[in-house]
Structure 1
Amino acid sequence: MKTYFRFSHLFVTLIGFLSYAQNKQDITYSSIGELQPRSSHEITASNWSIGGETMDRDFTDFDQWKQYLGATGAKKIRLQAGWAKCERKKGEYNFEWLDKIIDEVIAQGVEPWLQTSYGNPIYEGGGMPNLSGGFPVSVEALAAWDQWVMALVNRYKGRVKIWEIWNESDLNSENTPEAYSKLFVRTAEIIKSKIPEAKIYALSLAHIETEYVASFLDYLKKANKLHLVDVITLHGYTYRPEEIYPKYEKIQHLIQSYSDHIIIGQGELGCPSENQSYYALKNYPWTETSQSKWLLRKLLGDLGRDIPSLYFTIIDMNYVRVLGKENGKVVQLKNPIYTVNTKGLIKSKKDNTVDYLKPSYFAYQNLTSIFDHSLKRIPNYPYIIDTSGSLSVYGYRADSSDYQIVTIWENEDTPTDSTKKTSNDFEFANGNFVDPVYVDMRTGKVYEIPKSDWTKKGTYYKFMNIPIYDSPILIAEKSLIKLKSDKNKPE
């Protein structure tokens, strides 16, 4: 039975799932080539950022992976400025490590997004230099924080326009909304005093809870400081990528009740490429295939809601924890703790050198090669499907021609390792295609859609036997897709 839709994203009630599963099969078209990646320099603007975090703690080595950055097609990169790495001795700053990073990413056509965090234990009450480490709280530490932020701003004025204040403060119960709000205002005002045009990103929330956001906005409203915020960045790791959106929508509605200029952005989300015992999305049998699917579903799900989006992160991070607390004091751990966070697009070795580019690296390239500022989302794209499963479907049109691209994927479960597909029929009432092709975003392969499998009558299009699975595929106007001749890219 056909189901009719007038919305870009609805979950379909499952009917006859067992029959649906039995019908899964490999469906192949004639391949006509592969997507041509575009470098960051070749793309004017897009929705896409990449994570370059944790270099403040040396969990990755920029010199090892910098050659792969521009080729991703990302337009922004999130970096952590690292107070404790910059100021190892009171009042003395070393910015050389950060200088070379910022200068190089700009040279590759990527805009730096610089986060001020974390604490600095050389000051009493200065906090710890790690996630959940706590804000600077003493008079001396806060004064030193102000001086460090001012030094950062003076140094990178003209090179850095996007500034994010702290990371996931809500993971530490001592970092109350009021405490964060006070730190945010003093920091944002220092930044704005030297860079009036700066874009300020706030909160960087791990848990997407309205109470924390409401308290922050209340504080700013009472202090007449709402103008300091441009974007509230949200994280919110979920095994099924689409599961987080109801919480995002609540935050959006809350923000709109305070301000008409503040937007939300997805500021840090990624997926492991193997089963790991630590960090977000742990204890699940992830593979490099399911990582690629998760990446595409999350980023295209964000795009389908007009949410700026970041993939965390470019390379696996080798975490080394050498400091801890004992009786409330910072101490050196006798046995450092070594773990690996495998969310990277690049597989790293234990010494932070590059092992190889994962399939997710190429999937990210596929995404950036097509979806840039020249494509505009078509709100409430109308479609009809004949399915017993739950799908995400979004329509886009090209500024230059009005030709269309439609993204489709099964969204009911956490991405799996399987690449089996099932055929389905789609009807688009307001389509616009001349030569439609099929694109598997995970592999980058582009296929002919046989003329026997699609019909057109005015703007009404019917596509039959379209292979779909739990990873995004496209029905796209061929003229909007650039192909390459190289057939050697690994799947």
Structure 2
Amino acid sequence: MTTPAAHIESQDVATLIRAQLPLLNGVRPVGHVENSRPTAAISSSRLGIGFETLDRRMFTAEQVYPHLSRLGAKWARVQTGWGRCETEPGRYDFTWLDGIVDNLAAAGVETMFSVTFGNALYMPDVPHESAVGYVPIYYEGALSAWTRFVRALAKRYRGRVTHWEVWNEPNIPQFWQPRQVSGRDYAQLVRVTAQAVRAEIPDATIIGGATSLADPAFLVDALRGGLAESIDAFSFHPYQMVPEHNLQNMHDVLRRILDEHSPGRRIALYQGENGCPSQLAGHHDDWLGMYTMDQVVQAKWIARRFLVDLKVGFDKIFYFHAVDLVERPYRQAGDQINEPVMMGLIHGGSYEPKYSFEVARRVCHLFDDRTLRTELMCLFTERDPSSPQRSTLMAAPYVATFERDGAPLFVYWLAEDPQQRTAQATIDVELWWDERLSMDHPVLLDVLTGEIYAVEQPADFFQTDWRSRGTKYRLPLTDYPLVFTDASVVAELGAKWRDR
């Protein structure tokens, strides 16, 4: 048994906050968001959370449900664990899964099943009882047993689980054994699995892919093997330390390939798994390229990750993971025991929320399906009076624009590596929104701290070269999202005003 405390890095979070999150320049603090809404109060959202590895009992789910009832993420990705459900041939114990699905529903969260991994009963060479990554199509008798299991699973959860994802990261050997990775073989696995699910749930949403990173060559191979005929959505896991890096291109390439192989029927595209550790050392995910990580940097990364995913246009978006995975050894295919996964919003030892939890919560509650992605004009400029010939448009700020209940939302941040802890700056910005939207009382919401700032600068309509360009402001610029919007938008999040 792993000792959780042995893996958790001690951090003085209050000191980290003071160092990295000072008050914003040029605007006046007037309130604070004190969100008290439960997850159940959100009717729908594209945002979800990883609730995986319970097939291997890697965390205590009962400790997490109360937090999910507050978080605001409306979907949870849950692995079904064939090896845990069927420990005797032909006999299924779904009691543990019943508890997960029912408790998530009570918390206001809908389950998406990840139907994945093997079973030692039918695979004599697996090195561990969890059979992580071992594929039933490669074992005599296993495929028929897999099909019976999936059909029993679908029958059990008909009317309770609508979304069914097939396998996890089949494009890398860590999760595809004992043969070489093959897109065509994966398409075969999806086909038989989808048929078993739809035999009991004809209108089930079947998700394929779940690939490690964007892997267009694997996707094309799978589509040539017939994948498009079996799926309603495709998911992939674009892990990276700078959330925005090349993400639009990855989305657009996969979107094009799916459209070309499925003319006349749109296959949805999910960001199916993505996470960031809250500490530098002592965990499995040092491959991300970290050099100075802490809980505040993780919180910046999470806010940026959710918002860039919303801007890019994914149909569903999942953060990995709800809680650190430290209670039992973390395994992939093979017999190696890996370091624990420390990407959780919740500490795996104490089950207390990390700093990132409340940050993710603000994003989930503000950017549910009532907040619509809308293209609005947002133009950053920075002048250099000492060298006018070098003055130019500043391209570095990343912008995502939305509308909610008749008000515009401009979300912007500096898209540098969050580990750089870039110092706050100020910048000129010209904004334009449609006449159907209104901004009667402009405020700036700091997503990281929850502080609300009044923007009290003159808001004259800005004109140059005989053209109306919008309203010009001088605003703070940080390496994490700030939301410029109307006070009515943040009021719904339980804003406590200091001057009212």
Q: Normalization by structure 2: what TM-score?
A: 0.83
- Counterparts of 1:103-142 in structure 2 under 5 Å? 103-124=102-123, 129=130, 131-142=132-143
SS in structure 1 at match of 2:197: helix
Whole-Å separation in 1 of the counterparts to 2:245 and 2:332: 34
Structure 1 Cα separation of the partners of residues 275 and 372 of structure 2 = 25
Q: Give the whole-Å Cα distance in 2 for the aligned partners of 1:483 and 1:107.
A: 22
Aligned-pair RMSD on alpha carbons?
2.5
CA deviations over 1:82-135 (Å, ceiling 9, x no partner): 111111222222111111110111112111001111111221368663554444
Counting only pairs closer than 5 Å after superposition, residues 435-454 of structure 1 correspond to structure 2 as 435-452=441-458, 454=459
2:409 match: secondary structure: strand
Aligned with 2:303 (options 293, 296, 303) = 296
Query: 1:28 deviation in Å?
Result: 5.8
The alpha-carbon deviation at position 457 of structure 1 amounts to: 6.5
Residue 479 of structure 2 is matched in structure 1 by 470
Q: CA deviation at 1:425?
A: 1.1
What does residue 318 of structure 1 align with?
326
Pick closer, same or farther for the CA change 1:284–1:134 going to 2, 3 Å.
farther
- Please give the alpha-carbon distance, in whole angstroms, between the structure 1 residues aligned to 2:398 and 2:215: 25
Cα separation, 2, equivalents of 1:382 and 1:88: 58
Kindly tell me: are residues 429 and 471 of structure 1, through their superposed partners in 2, closer, same or farther at Cα, counting changes over 3 Å? same
1:383 aligns with one of 378, 387, 392: 378
Equivalent residue runs for 1:167-182 within 5 Å: 167-172=168-173, 174-182=180-188
Q: What residue in structure 1 maps to residue 340 of structure 2?
A: 340
How many Å apart are 1:460 and its aligned residue?
A: 5.5
Letter of the 1:375 counterpart: T
Deviation of 1:324 after TM superposition, in Å, equals: 9.3
Once the two structures are superposed, what CA deviation does each residue of 1:343-366 show, in whole Å capped at 9, x if it has no partner?
0000121xxx51x21111001111
Q: Structure 2: which amino acid aligns with 1:465?
A: R
Conserved? CA contact 1:163–1:199, under 8 Å: yes
Q: Is the 8 A contact 1:77 1:113 kept in 2?
A: yes
Q: 1:241 aligns with which of 240, 243, 247?
A: 243
SS in 2 for 1:348: coil
* Alignment partners' CA distance in 2, 1:130 and 1:437: 53
Q: Is contact 1:320–1:337 with CA below 8 Å preserved after alignment?
A: no
Q: Give distance in 1, aligned partners of 2:242 and 2:74.
A: 26
Percent of aligned positions that are identical? 26
Relative distance call for 1:131 and 1:419 in structure 2 (3 A) is: farther
The answer (yes or no) to whether the contact 1:201–1:231 under 8 Å persists in 2 is yes
Which has the higher mean CA deviation after the structures are superposed, 57-66 or 477-486? 477-486
Q: Is the 8 A contact 2:71 2:360 kept in 1?
A: yes
Aligned to 2:161: 160
Give the equivalent residue in structure 1 for 2:79.
80
Alpha-carbon distance change, 445 to 135 in structure 1, aligned in 2, over 3 angstroms: farther
Aligned pairs (5 A) from 1:57-456: 57-124=56-123, 129=130, 131-172=132-173, 174-220=180-226, 226-245=228-247, 246-259=249-262, 260-276=265-281, 277-279=283-285, 281=288, 283-307=290-314, 308-318=316-326, 320-321=328-329, 337=337, 339-349=339-349, 353-354=350-351, 356-379=352-375, 381-387=376-382, 388=394, 390-398=396-404, 400-401=405-406, 403-411=407-415, 413-416=416-419, 418=421, 420-430=423-433, 432-452=438-458, 454-456=459-461
Distance 1:370 1:207, change over 3 A: closer
Q: How far does residue 283 in structure 1 lie from its aligned partner after superposition?
A: 4.3
Partner Cα distance (2:111, 2:138) in 1: 28
Q: SS at 1:139's partner residue?
A: coil
Measure how far apart 1:218 and its partner are: 1.4
State the AA in 2 paired with 1:291. Answer: Q
Amino acid in structure 2 at the alignment position of 1:346: I
What TM-score do you get using the length of structure 1 for normalisation?
0.84
Question: Counterparts of 2:155 and 2:493 in 1: how far apart (Å)?
Answer: 44
Once residues 97 and 477 of structure 1 are traced to their aligned partners in structure 2, the CA distance between those partners, rounded to angstroms, is 45
SS in 1 for 2:102: helix
Offset at residue 136 of structure 1 (A)? 4.5
- Deviation string 1:182-210 (CA, Å, 9 cap, x unpaired) is 11000001111111111111110003111
1:210 is matched by which residue type in structure 2?
A: P
Find the counterpart in structure 1 of residue 494 from structure 2: 484
Kindly provide the CA deviation profile for residues 127-151 of structure 1, in whole angstroms up to 9, marking residues without a partner as x. Answer: 6635544445223111111111111
1:357 partner SS: coil
In the superposition, relative to structure 1, how do residues 65 and 463 fare at CA in structure 2: closer, same or farther (>3 Å)?
same
- Cα distance, 1:298–1:483 mapped onto 2, change above 3 Å: closer
Deviation at 1:31, TM superposition (A): 2.1
Counterpart CA distance in 2 for 1:313 and 1:486 is 30
Aligned mates of 2:429, 2:331 — CA distance in 1: 56
Secondary structure at 1:109 match in 2: coil
Considering fraction of residues, name the structure with more strand.
1
Deviations 1:220-253 (A, max 9, x none): 1xxxx63431110010211111114122221111
How far does residue 322 in structure 1 lie from its aligned partner after superposition?
Answer: 8.5
SS class of match (1:97): helix
Residue range with higher mean Cα deviation, 298-307 or 462-471: 462-471
Q: Aligned with 1:397: secondary structure?
A: strand
Identify the range of structure 1 (473-482 vs 169-178) with the bigger mean alpha-carbon deviation. Answer: 169-178
8 Å Cα contact 1:424/1:467 also seen in 2: yes
- The answer to whether the Cα contact below 8 Å between 2:412 and 2:482 also exists between their aligned partners in 1 is yes
| One-letter amino acid of the structure 2 residue matched with residue 377 of structure 1 | R
C-alpha distance in structure 1 between counterparts of 2:89 and 2:140, whole Å: 14
Shift of 1:217: 1.2
Deviation of the 1:463 alpha carbon: 3.9
Where 2:181 maps in the other structure, the secondary structure is coil
The 3-state SS of whatever aligns with 1:89 is coil
Q: Which moved more, 1:82-91 or 1:262-271?
A: 82-91
The DSSP-based 3-state class of the residue aligned with 1:471 is coil
CA gap 1:31/1:185 in 2 versus in 1, 3 angstroms: same
In structure 1, distance between residues paired with 2:353 and 2:63: 12
**Match of 2:98, SS?**
helix
